[in-house]
């Protein structure tokens, strides 16, 4: 079992930045693959960024955030971060952290993750 707690959400104006944190506890092998997803009202859950830490460090990003968002991992703190820059109103959503024993492909498909946090809201105003 893996427990995930997100923080760092809030309200920001377009063009601003936020950094989300996801603190992970529990089975260390259950955190080999970690990711951020988001879901806006009336839309499907979207993979934002993933990071694979087994045998190296691999990162993948969804097309809409490529070049603006960065995922990172602090092993010592068991925390995954999502640095979000140049935010737009389209980035407004509930952001969720997810974890899995292994990554599959780009690891941006929600069905690949058995463990989820409760989410943190990000609101970007124009």
**Pair of tokens at residue 57:** 């460090």
Q: Is the pLDDT of residue 66 over 90?
A: yes
- For the ranges 23-32, 53-62, 76-85, 89-98, the maximum mean pLDDT occurs at 89-98
Q: Are strands 10-13 and 120-125 parallel, antiparallel or unpaired?
A: parallel
Q: What percent of the chain has pLDDT over 70?
A: 98
- Tell how many helices (H) and how many strands (E) occur in the chain: 0, 11
Q: Name the residue among 25, 20, 17 with its Cα closest to residue 35.
A: 20
- Would you state the pLDDT for residue 121? 98
Q: Tokens 């990162």 belong to which residue?
A: 59
Is pLDDT above 90 for 71? yes
Sign (positive/negative) of CA torsion 81, 119, 52, 30?
A: positive
Asked if residue 106 has pLDDT above 80, the reply is no
* pLDDT (tens digit per residue) in 16-61: 999 999 999 998 888 889 999 999 999 999 999 999 876 667 899 9
CA atoms of 90 and 83, how far apart (whole Å)? 16
């Amino acid at each position: 079992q893996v427990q995930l707690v997100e923080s760092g959400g809030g309200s920001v104006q377009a063009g601003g930045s936020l950094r989300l944190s996801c603190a992970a506890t529990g089975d260390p092998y259950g955190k080999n693959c970690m990711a951020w997803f988001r879901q806006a009202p009336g839309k499907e859950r979207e993979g934002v960024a993933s990071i694979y830490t087994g045998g190296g460090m691999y990162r993948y990003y969804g097309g809409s955030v490529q070049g603006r968002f960065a995922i990172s991992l602090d092993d010592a703190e068991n925390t995954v971060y999502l640095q979000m820059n140049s935010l737009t109103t389209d980035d407004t959503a509930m952001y969720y952290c997810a974890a899995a024993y292994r990554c599959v492909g780009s690891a941006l498909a929600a069905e690949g993750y058995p463990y989820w946090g409760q989410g943190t809201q990000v609101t970007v105003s124009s």
